[in-house]
Amino acid sequence: MTKAHVALTTLDWIVIALYFVVNIAIGLYYRARAGESLSEFFLSGRDVPWWLAGTSMVATTFAADTPLAVTGLVVRGGIAGNWLWWNFLAGGMLTVFFYARLWRRSGVMTDIEFSEIRYAGKPAAFLRGFRALYLAIPIGCIVLGWVNLAMVKILQMVLGVDKTTALACVMGMIAITAAISAISGLWGVLVTDSLQFVIKQAMVIALAFAAVGAAGGIDGIKTKLAAAGRSNALSFTPDLDSPLTPVATFLVYISVLWWATWYPGAEPGGGGFVAQRMLCARDEKHSLLATFWFNLAHFAIRPWPWIFTALAVLVLYPDLPDPESGYVRIMIDHLPPSLRGLMVAGFIAAFMSTNSTQLNWGAAYLVNDFYKRFFRRDASERHYVMASQAATVLLTLIAAVVTFYMDSVAGAWKLLMATGAGTGGVLLARWYWWRVNAWSEVSAMASAAVVSIFLQTAMGFDSDKPGDFAWLMIVTTAISTAIWVGVTFATAPEPEAVLLAFYRRTRPAFGWGPVARLAPEVKPTRDTGSNLLDWLCGCVLIYGALFGAGKMLLGETALGAGILLVAAAAGVVIYRDLSSRGWKSAIE
């Protein structure tokens, strides 16, 4: 095995150091603005253009763990293994056309604050406080933990050190990231995200070229996979008898997972950092376009460099005990020495972009939705900014402990999907069904967690086994959905005044008949049909771009070009529809 620590030259270390200097400089530049208020610190004064907000979303979901996890999925299940996350596109397009504008109209600072404009009384307060702690600490730190774990694996191989030493190095990088996030607020996060995205995307493309070349080119990969009996690894959908991605699991992915499961960055209806970016956009149009650009880049632009590198791993390192590490092995053994410093900087960029966002919105939950809401309602803006900086440090320390005890990135992905199964329905319905109340959400969260834990402990369901994972999703979703719908009808609706205030603020297009009749002055946009068409065309556009590009890269030029033409036609439909609504200037 190549010892990577001897491959990094003085020039490499200079490149890495310059990367940190530039990021620190950006943080210092936005320091004064971030300290003005909570709105500036967490929402950049709600004045962010769509391209910056959308690029930041893309950068956040492109962490150091992402190419490693995708490599593991491809090695185990072929290209079709990516349906574990490709399925979320349908939910992402729902967020674009049905929810992005509603989030911007709501005017809240975080998605958790939503609880107390939609619901009333102690149940709403409990929901807000519980979700703030739950999402910021256990869930947020699991996310930070798997991102940190990926970086630990990378440094172990690059520097040739043990896990403890690598974790110490990661903690140093986290300290720099936390400092930038703490002093610069969201503006610093957004701008550094954009810089980091350019660096890391350029480097994964360079690595993909090196990997494919080392594996003998596209034709060489095809030939070697066929000789190894793994030709099915090139299929975009699983084989009927695939043990790694059975048809039942695939059907659950495309019919249940995308709407029923809460997952960071793919929350049904939007949430977490995606909601934060929609809330910080200049207006409703910028909110929608930011989310659209995020989904386009996330699903159609980024994946193929990772996937082709993973296919090269299948050929070059077929027996790796830890397939995720194959991505780094490619860099160590086959990337030109002149690019290794930039590649390490790319990994660090991927690591920092996700950490900075997770720390910023996690601190927003702790301060805005817990500390300020329940302990200090009347302190100064400066006090809350300082509390946010302290919360950033706290989350950093907890995440370090989680990292030390975590073993698998892809396993952590599936763990969160399993525990979030069944909660998606209520998150979608709360905007468009007036009858949903706080107890609906509470019962959905509680029942999903209880059922999922029971199935995995008492019943022996293993989320790492594709068949078990599919049934875990189906059973948990069915039971938790039945429970929250039953609880909704068994409990009283929210007070009329609260429902009217919410309806007047967000103006949902349907599902509020009894409330709408009490507020005839509100004129919601009746665009449900257009939004459904745009949602469908958005899915066709992005899946078409993804699969068309993939077919062309694999040498199936005619088929790939045909799929891309269909994708382009879907894009034209969306453009014309938005232009007819007066959006042409925003789009262009």
Answer for the pair 96, 292: CB distance below 8 angstroms, yes or no.
yes
Q: Which two tokens stand for residue 42?
A: 């967490």
Which pLDDT band, with edges at 50, 70 and 90, does 124 fall under?
Answer: very high
Task: Provide the whole-model pTM.
Answer: 0.88
The CA distance from 526 to 140, in Å, is 37
In order, the DSSP letters of 517-552 are TT-TT------HHHHHHHHHHHHHHHHHHHHHHHHH
- Average of pLDDT values for 209-236? 91
Directed axis angle between helix 557-580 and helix 528-553, to 10°?
160
The tens digit of pLDDT for each residue in 368-427 reads 899 998 988 888 878 887 888 788 888 888 877 777 666 555 555 556 666 667 788 999
The CA distance from 173 to 148, in Å, is 10
Q: Is 446 helix (H, G, I), strand (E, B) or coil?
A: helix
pLDDT the model gives residue 571:
96
The tens digit of pLDDT for each residue in 258-298 reads 898 877 777 889 888 888 889 999 999 999 999 999 999 99
pLDDT the model gives residue 205:
94
The CA distance from 350 to 450, in Å, is 34
Res. 89: pLDDT tops 90: yes
Q: Which two tokens stand for residue 423?
A: 């909660």
Answer for the pair 426, 484: CB distance below 8 angstroms, yes or no.
yes
The CA distance from 166 to 309, in Å, is 24
For the chain, what is the mean pLDDT? 86
Directed axis angle between helix 217-227 and helix 303-316, to 10°?
50
Query: What region, left, alpha or beta, does residue 422 occupy, with left being phi > 0 and alpha being psi -120 to 50 degrees?
Result: left
pLDDT the model gives residue 358:
80
pLDDT the model gives residue 415:
62
pLDDT the model gives residue 512:
95
pLDDT the model gives residue 432:
96
Res. 550: pLDDT tops 90: yes
- Average of pLDDT values for 84-91? 91
More confident residue, 4 or 536: 536
The CA distance from 153 to 410, in Å, is 13
Domain-wise residue ranges, the chain: 4-419, 529-588
Dihedral pair phi/psi, residue 168, rounded to 5°: -65, -40
Res. 513: pLDDT tops 50: yes
pLDDT the model gives residue 134:
84
- SS3 labels along 342-403: HHHHHHHHHHHHHHHHHHHHHHHHHHHHHHHHHCCCCCCHHHHHHHHHHHHHHHHHHHHHHH
The tens digit of pLDDT for each residue in 467-498 reads 788 888 889 999 999 999 999 999 999 999 99
Residue in the structure block whose two tokens are 């068409």: 533
pLDDT the model gives residue 434:
96
Superfamily of domain 4-419: Sodium/glucose cotransporter (1.20.1730.10)
Which pLDDT band, with edges at 50, 70 and 90, does 5 fall under?
Answer: very low
Res. 238: pLDDT tops 90: no
Which pLDDT band, with edges at 50, 70 and 90, does 3 fall under?
Answer: very low
Dmax over CA atoms of the chain, in Å, equals 73
Which pLDDT band, with edges at 50, 70 and 90, does 7 fall under?
Answer: low
Q: Which two tokens stand for residue 462?
A: 């293993």
pLDDT the model gives residue 416:
62
Nearest to 184 by CA among 333, 352, 425, 373: 352
Nearest to 543 by CA among 280, 275, 200, 300: 300
More confident residue, 256 or 159: 256
The Cβ of residue 346 has, within 10 Å, a number of other Cβ atoms equal to: 25
pLDDT the model gives residue 534:
96
Res. 4: pLDDT tops 60: no
pLDDT the model gives residue 1:
38
Dihedral pair phi/psi, residue 48, rounded to 5°: -95, 130
Which pLDDT band, with edges at 50, 70 and 90, does 45 fall under?
Answer: confident
pLDDT the model gives residue 6:
41
The CA distance from 141 to 151, in Å, is 15
Dihedral pair phi/psi, residue 525, rounded to 5°: -70, 120
Q: Where is average pLDDT lowest: 52-66, 88-102, 279-293, 519-533?
A: 52-66
The tens digit of pLDDT for each residue in 317-341 reads 988 888 888 888 898 888 888 787 8
- Average of pLDDT values for 33-54? 81
Which pLDDT band, with edges at 50, 70 and 90, does 197 fall under?
Answer: confident
The CA distance from 398 to 403, in Å, is 9
pLDDT the model gives residue 169:
86
Res. 247: pLDDT tops 70: yes
Q: Which two tokens stand for residue 441?
A: 């959400």
